[in-house]
């Protein structure tokens, strides 16, 4: 490949030194609908011991918030649905609530967001019309206490707020919600620099459609994937498809600039007989592979540059939750603080997983079960930008590009995207898959499924 001049290399060198992107982050939901949970102090000790630095609460319990003081753990607190009407109708109520439950603890406790209500659109209390006014009053209270820059206001919505979610490119909000609440809410997020909170559960989609949805697709296991008939994008997991349906719904209303945070997702380790897919092994696979996917910085097919913040549901099994057996078995931990299953919860833990472990008859577990990731070209940036990045990777970047030369094993298919993917991946693997080493100014992104171009599979770090 042609060598680049120093002047043409300078933008890339500056980018890698100063402007590489971070991956997403992982937090947990701490629900307390149980009578056998450890004390708040022990819970905080558990969070710290596991390296968990983000936690979302469902209330503002003083013992929990005080216990989080001085820990550096970022906290989302919640204003429950029952208070929405009062806070929406009376600004003074919002000021009082913020003073008592937020300002009194900040900054010792690193509260960084307030969830105003939870899945309000499906609440039997019929509170939809009060949601945005309540958020506006809470925001005004934060301004009064000079906390509006540090703390964002949002509200978790369920995927049932979508009228269409398949294919992902057809994602659209329910028409009866758009004008009364969705647009005003997204306007509020844009104005305040906040983000949409979304609760997404591939388990529910799989459970109800196990005859048509592949379990491998739901659990991030290797699979053929599903091609979106509208966008042509290929999805290899159901989570990305669900999130991109929300992105598409926002885009349809011209709110591409509003960020999205996944405030709940998870998979139950136990369920009733009819709850297809609820098991310990499936819960470990879903949550473990989701964590690897998020921490890889892969984004989604529609938004490959989106660094998603995701909160797992939940920290503990909660024995007093009503409903089917699954509702009481979403926890990562039992109330005695023992793990329900062993998965990595941090980027460091993912890196420590090392080589694939032997399984059953000696076959090695690969791709998503080993935490392996690859770097591929983003064809949407165009061939000119890909060519500049390809020349850098094969030249100054030191990638091994011998296999994409004429006559070599990976020369075919002879396309810019295939050759660039090989070069980008070689660079990425040689750099230890470090954060920021698969970007090339937007010309590349990370994937968690083994990519192939023709008969050429991209190598892992071990074979480079």
Q: Report, as residue numbers or ranges, the catalytic residues.
A: 119, 264
Scored b (16 or more CB within 10 A) or e, 360-397 reads eeeeeeebbbbbbbbbbbbeebeeebbbbbbbbbbbeb
DSSP secondary-structure letter at 117? S
- Pair of tokens at residue 145: 């206490």
Grouping H, G, I as helix, E, B as strand and the rest as coil, residue 227 is strand
Q: Which residues pair with 226 in a beta bridge?
A: 235
Residue 207 C-alpha from the chain's centroid: 21
- Pair of tokens at residue 276: 């297809």
Q: Taking Cα atoms as reference points, which of 433, 415, 337 lies closest to residue 52?
A: 337
314, two tokens: 């939940």
The contacts of residue 421 (CB under 8 Å, 6+ apart) are 375, 376, 377, 444, 451, 453, 458
Contacts of 427 (CB under 8 A, 6+ apart): 375, 393, 397, 398, 399, 437, 438
Q: Output the six-digit token pair for 346.
A: 């941090």
- 422-432: burial string, b at 16+ Cβ within 10 Å, e else: bbbbbbbbbbe
From CA 464, how far away is CA 459, in angstroms rounded? 7
Task: Note whether 173 and 163 are within 8 A (CB).
Answer: yes
Q: How far apart are CA 14 and CA 451, in angstroms?
A: 29
How many CB atoms are closer than 10 A to CB 321? 17
């Amino acid at each position: 490949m042609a060598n680049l001049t120093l002047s043409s290399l300078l933008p890339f060198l500056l980018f890698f030194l100063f402007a590489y992107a971070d991956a997403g982050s992982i937090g947990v939901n701490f629900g307390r609908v149980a009578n056998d949970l450890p004390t708040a102090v022990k819970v905080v000790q558990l969070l710290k011991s596991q390296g968990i630095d983000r936690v979302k609460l469902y209330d503002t319990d003083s013992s929990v918030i005080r216990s989080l003081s001085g820990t550096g753990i970022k906290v989302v607190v919640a204003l429950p649905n029952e208070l929405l009407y009062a806070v929406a109708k009376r600004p003074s109520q919002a000021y009082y609530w913020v003073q008592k439950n937020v300002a009194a603890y900040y900054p010792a406790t690193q509260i960084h967001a307030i969830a105003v209500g939870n899945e309000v659109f499906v609440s039997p209390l019929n509170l939809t019309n009060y949601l945005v006014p309540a958020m506006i009053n809470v925001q005004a209270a934060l301004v009064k206490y000079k906390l509006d820059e540090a703390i964002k206001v949002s509200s978790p919505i369920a995927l049932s707020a979508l009228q269409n979610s398949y294919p992902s490119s057809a994602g659209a909000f329910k028409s009866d919600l758009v004008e009364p609440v969705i647009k005003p809410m997204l306007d509020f997020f844009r104005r305040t620099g906040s983000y949409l909170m979304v609760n997404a559960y591939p388990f529910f989609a799989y459970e109800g459609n196990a005859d048509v949805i592949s379990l491998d697709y739901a659990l991030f296991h290797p699979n053929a994937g599903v091609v979106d008939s509208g966008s042509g994008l290929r999805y290899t997991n159901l989570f990305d498809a669900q999130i991109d349906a929300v992105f598409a719904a926002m885009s349809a209303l011209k709110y591409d600039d509003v960020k999205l945070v996944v405030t709940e997702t998870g998979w139950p380790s136990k369920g009733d007989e009819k709850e297809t897919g609820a098991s310990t092994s499936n819960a470990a696979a879903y949550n473990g592979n989701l964590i690897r996917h998020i921490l890889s910085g892969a984004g989604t097919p529609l938004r490959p540059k989106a660094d998603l913040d995701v909160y797992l549901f939940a920290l503990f099994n909660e024995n007093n939750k009503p409903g089917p057996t699954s509702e009481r078995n979403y926890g990562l931990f039992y109330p005695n603080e023992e793990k329900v299953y062993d998965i990595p919860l941090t980027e460091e833990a993912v890196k420590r997983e090392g080589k694939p472990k032997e399984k059953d008859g000696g076959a090695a577990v690969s791709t998503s079960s080993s935490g392996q990731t690859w770097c591929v070209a983003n064809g949407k940036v165009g061939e000119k930008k890909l060519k500049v990045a390809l020349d850098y990777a094969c030249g100054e970047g030191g990638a091994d590009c011998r296999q994409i030369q004429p006559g070599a094993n990976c020369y075919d298919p002879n396309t810019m995207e295939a050759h660039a993917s090989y070069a980008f991946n070689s660079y990425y693997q040689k750099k230890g898959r470090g954060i920021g080493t698969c970007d090339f100014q937007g010309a590349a992104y990370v994937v968690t499924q083994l990519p192939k171009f023709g008969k050429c599979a991209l190598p892992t770090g071990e074979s480079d």
